[in-house]
Amino acid sequence: MTTLQEFRCEVCGLVTTNPTHWFVIRCGNSDLTVHRWNSETANATGAQHYCGEAHAEVYISRWFESVCAPPKPIFK
């Protein structure tokens, strides 16, 4: 018996049953962790799935923006 599990990229909506080279991101209020794909992490509560580095970076950029807004002034 084969169980094929589908995962969807949170950025582009791509669906795969073979998420090789995908990444898992877990995000909290004070931290964000990027994991290499493994099924245990991918199935954890709150795990988000990204089809590759580029889309993982999209999410990380959004996270930085949300954490760092409003931007701090740069001292001169």
* 11 contacts Zn ion (rule: CB under 5 A): yes
In whole angstroms, what is the distance from residue 15 CA to residue 6 CA?
6
* 24 contacts Zn ion (rule: CB under 5 A): no
For 39, phi then psi, to 5°, come to -65, -30
User: Least separation, in Å, of the C-beta of 42 and Zn ion?
Assistant: 15
User: Least separation, in Å, of the C-beta of 70 and Zn ion?
Assistant: 29
For 50, phi then psi, to 5°, come to -135, 140
- Specify which residues 36 forms β-bridges with: 23
- Which residues in the 35-64 window bind Zn ion by CB under 5 A? 51, 55
Residues found near Zn ion in the complex (CB under 5 A) = 9, 11-12, 14, 51, 55
